[in-house]
Amino acid sequence: MSPPIRLKTPLSDEDVEKLKIGDRVLINGIVYTGRDAAHKRLFDLLKEGKDLPFDIKGQIIYYVGPTPAKPGQVFGSAGPTTSYRMDAYSPSLIERGLKGMIGKGMRSDVVKEAMKKYKAVYFAATGGAGALLAKRVKKAEIVAYEDLGPEAIRRLEVEDLPVIVVNDVRGDDLYIEGEKKYRTSP
């Protein structure tokens, strides 16, 4: 097994073009959080021609709503949220320069087409490992929508956040290829 690929945000086209499905990646730098309600607000801002509350170009959004941090911790449990709930909003954000998304589960064909067209990738984080993933967060601050509580948009400083490439810029899908590999013929 080859060693994981280390990436530092913000990501460039070249960064994401070299990734392929199944690659293990360690993300370093800034990652933003956002779930359903925050995505709807971002989408509405774009529809109104307004600026987003942070520069999305080259960034990664982690679909997470952390639990409250325990004393001495920077961030609460950080398990990924099911990604298809953001599918209605993701193509618009990808078109504006979003380069990566982290979550769990499959993405729609529309999102995969936007990733191919605008050069973005989808990473999976391990569901059920939220407490371990939280240890990779070194700093966290709310940058927008504090009224959403755990679903507010946060700016995270992460160190070696472990993810796997599920969808790459070529349109490949790890879930589909994995299923094909293990499917038995009738």
CATH number, position 121: 3.20.130.10
Domain residues for 83? Answer: 5-182
Q: How many domains does one find in the chain?
A: 1
- Alpha-carbon distances of 180 from 66, 92, 94, 116, 168, rounded to whole Å: 34, 31, 28, 21, 17
| CA gap 139, 173 in Å, rounded | 32
Segment 39-50 shows an average pLDDT of 96
pLDDT on residue 184: 66
Indicate which residues carry an active-site annotation.
39
The number of helix segments (H) and strand segments (E) in the chain equals 6, 7
- Outline where the chain has alpha helix (H): 13-17, 36-47, 90-95, 109-118, 130-134, 174-182
Q: With pLDDT > 90 as the criterion, what percentage of the chain qualifies? A: 81
Task: Tell me which of 7-11, 101-105, 133-137 is least confident.
Answer: 133-137
Alpha-carbon distance 32 to 143, whole Å?
9
Average pLDDT rounded to a whole number, residues 76-96: 95
The pLDDT value recorded for residue 2 is 83
Give pLDDT tens digits for 131-177.
889 999 999 999 999 999 989 999 999 999 999 999 999 999 999 98
185: confidence class by pLDDT, cuts 50, 70, 90: low
The DSSP letter of residue 50 is P
Please tell me the distance from the alpha carbon of residue 61 to that of residue 21, in angstroms, as a whole number.
18
Q: In which element (H, E) is residue 72 found?
A: none
Residue 76 CA, distance from chain mean position: 17
